[in-house]
Amino acid sequence: MDTLYTMTYTLNSGIKGTVNLSLVQIKEWIDCFKIGTRFVTYVGDEHFGLNPNCVADYKVHNVYSEQRRQLEVIQPKEILESKELLEAYEVKQIVARVECKKCSTQYTTDLIYKMPETICTKCKSKVYLQEQLGMINTNKGKAYYYSNNEEEQS
């Protein structure tokens, strides 16, 4: 993992800029500045170029600097494997058992959240949550029961 250090520079026009560079890139920049050749490198996925003849001054904020700011490069693979990140963006769904009396369809499905009514996926009739029955056992575990049977509704 490369540690990046922030370099702050001021152009001759007075415009200030910052760029995050690795130690190797900082050494290349210093060499280019000393001999007056253009500095071109990659910063992430982008090209970055700086003409030392247009730079009035620069400062690298490193471990000895009061205003240091270190950034560590995070590889995409590490982001995907991060358990905390995956849990933070995980969508918690509920299990629902739907029994449509109009078309005689029965199925178990996942819903984004518990809702008072939904529709039958086959005939598009409204089916209602039967809260008085509580949770029922299904092949996917405990589920909320939805039906369009009038006698079962509360």
Number of Cβ atoms within 10 Å of the Cβ of 83: 7
119 vs 1, more confident: 119
Q: In terms of DSSP bridges, do strands 94-100 and 141-147 run parallel, antiparallel, or are they unpaired? A: parallel
Helix (H, G, I), strand (E, B) or coil at 118: strand
Q: For the segment 38-63, what is each residue's pLDDT rounded down to a tens digit?
A: 999 988 888 899 999 999 998 887 66
Tokens for 152, please give them.
């079962």
Q: What's the pLDDT at 68?
A: 46
Asked if 96 and 146 count as a contact pair (C-beta separation under 8 A), the reply is yes
0.85 surpassed by pTM = no
CA 76 to each of CA 66, 71, 79, 82, 85: distance values in angstroms, whole numbers, following the listed order = 31, 15, 5, 10, 12
The pLDDT of residue 72 is above 80: no
Q: In terms of DSSP bridges, do strands 46-50 and 39-43 run parallel, antiparallel, or are they unpaired? A: antiparallel
Confidence band, pLDDT 50/70/90 cuts, at residue 98? very high
